[in-house]
Structure 1
Amino acid sequence: MAEQCTPTDAERVAAETVFGDRLELAERYVEHLATSGIERGLLGPREVPRLWGRHVLNCAVVTELIPQDATVADVGSGAGLPGLTFALARPDLDITLIEPLERRCIWLNEIIEDLGLTRVRVLRGRSEQFFDDVDVDVVTARAVSALSKLAGITMPLLGGRGQLLALKGRSAAEEIEKATKVLRKLGGRNAEVLTAGSTILEEPTTVVRVPVGAA
């Protein structure tokens, strides 16, 4: 099955750009996704041929929006998308993966150990359980929930300053409009829709960015 996840030529060029000298580690991560990740139900088997384009690169390019040496929390990390891709692309980041399901946490810890990612930790539980213990510069999430709900389970992890980077689809602008009151209540300001990876991906990643705290 791992043979099916070979990147296209364009995806390989993009991967070389994003991961640089850590490309081999990224390839190992994709192999894990295509084998044990499928076997343990973290991803569906139909996703294997598009692991690079739709998943790994789609997530990893978001690191262009993250400041140097930032602390990051990935809520609902699942198979490490986007959190582990951030760790692979940006070894300067300190990353916390928050995931409620035990079997996913076990898998994440196995992958972290195998890839030697020393600046990544896994917390098992719902993000609300860690509001008093986790204080990061950036909080991110992918395919967790609509922004109006997502804001309440992510933004408190910022401790009143930083930014939420939510990976979204075509409904991003509509989600911002529906979540305006919630975002404002949580200290968010000037939410905007950005794209990441526009120079290297055929389909750039849509990101909702919500700054929190003073301008």
Structure 2
Amino acid sequence: MEHEVFGDSYEQGRQYVDILASRGVDWGLIGPREVDRLWSRHVLNSVAIEQLINHGSSVLDVGSGAGLPGIPLAILRPDLTVTLLEPLLRRANFLTEVVDELGLAERVSVVRGRAEDQDQTYQVVTCRAVAALPKLLTWCLPLVAPHGQLLAIKGESAEQELIDVQGTLRKRRLTGQVLSVAAHTDAEPTWVVRIR
């Protein structure tokens, strides 16, 4: 399945998974129990949203952590320019090392900082397992370019979280929807809240 999804980029994807399984665990970015599920639960889960991203988009991955979803998206989609935003120094250092090792530095940059301190805008802002939607909107909406979108990868609470922010969305004249997307027909679906 991973071969089918990543095609020519599979080796690069495998190298990233190997880094997560070794250094990612050593640095405390990935739990040891997650190693057997890195492809299914983390990488394929991350790239499921690529079908929602227009060709040539600039992408900001807020609270990138171990690089999810930003690095898998950059590996799968050479047309994207990706910025990994991470406030913690240790994680930012990890991301910088990984981007260099995978040869992604031309299209992927690492910025150490918090979303609320950024002033640039992007066509797509992504986040995965960062915070509840009300907080995410406060941090991320200022970073979404006009006609851009926020893609928040969520768990099964996605519907309820979207209901909780309806007032905010109406005030800002934005629309939100919960989508179920999958990287492959045999992959588990990913729940994503899309705000436009």
**TM-score, length-scaled by structure 2:** 0.95
* Equivalences for residues 104-119 of structure 1 within 5 A: 104-117=91-104, 118-119=106-107
1:145 to 131, 143, 148: 131
Per-residue deviation, 1:195: 1.4
- For 1:129, give the aligned amino acid: D
State the match for 1:194 in structure 2.
179
- Please give the alpha-carbon distance, in whole angstroms, between the structure 2 residues aligned to 1:16 and 1:151: 35
Shift of 1:201: 3.5
Matched, 1:173 2:154: no
What is the identity, as a one-letter code, of the residue corresponding to 2:191? T
Residue equivalent to 1:4? none
1:207 matched to which residue of 2?
192
Match runs of 1:20-59 below 5 Å: 20-59=7-46
Q: Determine which of 76, 79, 98 is the counterpart of 2:85.
A: 98
Secondary structure at 2:165's aligned position in 1? helix
Provide structure 2 residue ranges, at least 5 long, that are not aligned to the other structure. Answer: none
8 Å Cα contact 2:61/2:69 also seen in 1: yes
CA shift, 1:56, in A, is: 0.6
Q: Does the aligned pair in 2 maintain the 1:61–1:205 contact within 8 Å?
A: yes
DSSP-derived class of the 2:146 partner: coil
What is the aligned length?
Answer: 195
8 Å contact kept, 1:22–1:88: yes
Larger relative strand fraction: 2
**In the aligned structure 2, how far is the partner of 1:198 from the partner of 1:108?**
23
Offset at residue 199 of structure 1 (A): 4.5
| Cross-structure match for 1:66 | 53
Report if the CA contact (8 A) 1:152-1:186 is conserved.
Answer: no
Q: Deviations over 1:73-129 (max 9, x none)?
A: 000000001010110110100001100000101110101001100200011010111
Counterpart of 1:78 in structure 2 is: 65
For residue 112 of structure 2, the aligned residue among 121, 124, 142 is 124
Contact 1:98 1:124 in 2 (8 A): yes
TM-score normalised by L of structure 1? 0.87
Residue identity in the other structure for 1:207: V
Tell me: CA distance 1:183–1:166, structure 2 relative to 1, closer, same or farther (3 Å). Answer: same
For 2:41 and 2:165, the matched residues in 1 are separated by: 26
- Judge conservation of contact 1:96–1:123 (CA < 8 Å) in 2: yes
Of stretches 198-207 and 102-111 in structure 1, the one that deviates more from structure 2 is 198-207
Gaps of 5+ in 1: 1-12
Which deviates further from its counterpart, 68-77 or 179-188? 179-188
Determine the C-alpha separation between the residues in 1 that align with 2:90 and 2:193: 29
Indicate yes or no: 2:5 matched with 1:18: yes
Partner amino acid for 1:194?
Answer: L
**Contact between 2:5 and 2:184, CA under 8 Å: does it hold in 1?**
no
CA RMSD of aligned residues (A): 1.3
